[in-house]
Amino acid sequence: MYRYDEFDARIVSERVAQFRGQVERRLAGTLLEDEFKPLRLQNGVYLQLHAYMLRVAIPYGQLSGRQLRQLAVVARDYDRGYGHFTTRQNIQFNWVALKDIPDVLAKLAEVEMHAIQTSGNCIRNVTSDHFAGATKDELMDPRPWCEIIRQWSTFHPEFAFLPRKFKIAVTAAEHDRAAIRVHDIGLHIRKRGDVVGFEVHVGGGQGRTPHLATLVNEFVPEAELLDYLEAIMRVYNRFGRRDNKYKARIKILVSELGEGEFRRLVEEEYAAQRPQEKIDLPQAEIDRIHAYFAPPALAEKPATSDAFEALKAEDPEFARWARVNLHPHKTDGYASVTVSLKPVGGLAGDATDAQMMTVAHLAETYAYDDIRVSHAQNLVLPHVALDDLPDVYRELKAAGLHTANESLITDMIVCPGLDYCNLANARSIPVGQAVQQVFADPDYQEDIGRLHINISGCINACGHHHIGHIGILGVDKKGEEFYQITFGGRADEKAAIGSIAGPGLKADDVPSALKRVVDTYRDLRSDKSELFIETLARLGHDPFKEALYAAD
Amino acid sequence: MTSVRPKLKPETPKAVTAWETATGENVWMTADGGWTKDPAQIGAFTGEEAEARLADAQAQEGQVTDPYFMEVTETGGITGRETLRETIRATGPTVAYGDAG
């Protein structure tokens, strides 16, 4: 993974010192909240329903064991013993006192972490495929390009005051696990002959006006990428709306201008860049960054493992976990392990300090010191030898981290909702837990197969309800919580925005209504291999709407 | 201001609530104008007195952040359109979390 050089370390520590001074002045009352708010947001500090919340950047979701341990220490010593992993592959602490945040940031700086650009109208954390560098189905490892984009965008003076926040996602795999088409810019790495380049999608996003990104350029060669991104950002900075917060994202600009005009403006801007302002990333620099992401020196292994096969034969729970939570690795004898943070009845994406310590230990002992956070709010150990899976499983089980539900119906994306969030209109967590309960039977879940239910507690869509196969949106109707159901969203290479099924349901009615929908799918699917989203596409939404609103 | 909440009529009883600046903990103004972290001690104000109490709170920037009105009964009980939000804010998340979660 990338390691800080002396400049990175100095910039981050200077930033901590600067924020310490700002906090001191805020506590003394010489900085007013209206003055302090943009400063705290630039350091990832929000004020939520109960307390300050600190959002820490995890670049493209990658952590070392040492970093995860330090996050555990922060959770234990400065919070209430847990942290919340987010859909942007970051972590949030819910209960940190403002007076302690400079100390927390200093702790994070010790392990090359910070909270810079995790809020505000700037380019945020670049996200990526959580199996990057490990998965069989990728063209190449996208992380070096995520890092190059991170370095280019961090403290970029021209893009510090954009009309609105800006999110970039990168994938290099045919199956898109980074949801690139619902990002402001989604990059898909392609090759033409020997030349690496990027398919550039612009203007995707969720929130109150969801849009899928438009393909703006089919192939931008790698050496030109940063200049091309600058052209896009300049067009956005110049023409993006600043008069209305709700119309300020680039998705609105692309939609209002139309695909052709937006592309023309970007190309005009690109052509207008003078030679002296071109970044023209030198190959030596591209190579230097790539070197940080050299694959781990995996010991050679046979394609099968006796220890792994023996435990599968002996322990059906382990066999299920292995069926559900392992992803094929590009190297024989290895797998990528999803550590589910979605136990039935738990809090999606939450991990206690002790659980973080366990995963850090496993990463250091068995997994080449590499941990990822997925946009589905789980953790991943990307490189584990099949021989070691029994030991890894035993330790996960002891820590309550062995839930076998990766991409199954209980692996829900759930925003914090009204239990924590100052913007939410309705609760998400208890509704998500109740939905999990009706599908809790592991055989039932496996029979249903891959089905993504996502829930948001307000229209801002942090719980990605628009792109859930089934989406749930909490709304407030005269002080009462109601939940709108959407069908047909998806986040992958066939990305789609779900459509609303009809009137909202009361919280208590949501689990049974969804059970009727899912059982209708089981009755109507052509065979067990046809996923819910495929049956929905084949038959249309009507049978499922009917089931949703049928009386119990 | 972070919190833009529904507007309340002058005669509607209201409390002044905010976040303690140093910790972020929720605080409510008591009937005598002090601050409490105990929702049982919430003071209720109306009319010009309420506006004056909010102005007092806004003048205490170092101590409290982002004060706003919330609807209460005459005895300071949480009520009205935002009962659920304000109850969760006063009593904490409705789900067990951390080691208890």
Enter the CATH code of domain A306-398: 3.90.480.20
Which chain A residues are closer than 8 Å to B95 by Cβ?
347, 419, 429-430, 433
Does B22 sit within 8 Å of A97, measured CB to CB? Answer: yes
**Nearest-CA neighbor of A117 among A163, A142, A150?**
A150
CA–CA separation, A270 and A262 (whole Å): 12
What pLDDT was estimated at residue B100? 83
Spatial strand order of the sheet with A82-85 comes to A45-47, A52-56, A91-96, A82-85, A350-352
For the cut 80, the answer to whether the pLDDT of residue A234 exceeds it is yes
Does B61 sit within 8 Å of A33, measured CB to CB? Answer: yes
Does B21 sit within 8 Å of A98, measured CB to CB? Answer: yes
Give the torsion sign (CA, A430, A431, A434, A435).
negative
For chain A, report the end-to-end CA distance as a whole number of angstroms: 53
Smallest Cα distance from B70 to chain A, Å: 13
The pLDDT-based confidence of B101 (bands split at 50, 70, 90) is confident
Of A97, A418, A422, Cβ closest to residue B23 = A97
What pLDDT was estimated at residue A69? 98
Give the torsion sign (CA, A218, A223, A229, A234).
negative
A480 to chain B: closest CA residue: B84
Using alpha carbons, list the distances in angstroms from residue B87 to A50, B14, B19, B30, B71. Answer: 11, 14, 15, 17, 11
The pLDDT-based confidence of B6 (bands split at 50, 70, 90) is confident
Does B93 sit within 8 Å of A98, measured CB to CB? Answer: no
Which chain A residues are closer than 8 Å to B3 by Cβ?
422
For the cut 80, the answer to whether the pLDDT of residue A551 exceeds it is no
What pLDDT was estimated at residue A226? 97
**Which CATH code, of 3.20.20.70, 3.30.230.70, 2.40.30.10, 3.30.413.10, is assigned to A413-549?**
3.30.413.10
The pLDDT-based confidence of A531 (bands split at 50, 70, 90) is very high
Q: Which residues pair with A472 in a beta bridge?
A: A455, A485
Over residues A325-347, the pLDDT tens digits come to: 999 999 999 999 999 999 999 99
Note if the pTM is more than 0.95: yes
The answer to whether B25 and B62 have CB atoms below 8 angstroms apart is: no
What pLDDT was estimated at residue A282? 87
Q: Which of A22, A34, A50 should we substitute to test contact with B (largest number of B Cβ atoms within 10 Å)?
A: A50
B79 to chain A: closest CA residue: A479
For the cut 70, the answer to whether the pLDDT of residue A552 exceeds it is no
CA–CA separation, A343 and A321 (whole Å): 13
- A268, with CB counted inside 10 A (0-12, 13-18, 19+), is exposed
Over residues A54-94, the pLDDT tens digits come to: 999 999 999 999 999 999 999 999 999 999 999 999 999 99
- Tell me, yes or no, if A39 comes closer than 8 A to chain B by beta carbon: no
> ipTM greater than 0.90, yes or no?
yes
- Residue A486: CA atoms inside 13 Å, Cβ hemisphere, count? 27
Sorted by where each begins, the domain ranges of chain A are 6-110, 127-291, 306-398, 413-549
Q: Over pLDDT 90: what percentage of chain A? A: 98
Interchain CB contacts (distance < 8 Å): A and B: 95
The predicted model gives B51-69 an average pLDDT of 96
Q: Which of B70, B88, B89, B91 should we substitute to test contact with A (largest number of A Cβ atoms within 10 Å)?
A: B88
Enter the CATH code of domain A6-110: 3.90.480.20
CA–CA separation, A297 and A331 (whole Å): 11
- Tell me, yes or no, if A52 comes closer than 8 A to chain B by beta carbon: yes
Output the six-digit token pair for B25.
Answer: 């903990």
What's the helix, strand, coil split of chain A in %, to 5? 45, 20, 40
- Tell me, yes or no, if B2 comes closer than 8 A to chain A by beta carbon: yes
* Domain spanning A127-291, CATH class: alpha beta
Domains A6-110 and A306-398 share a fold: yes
Output the six-digit token pair for B61.
Answer: 């920037």
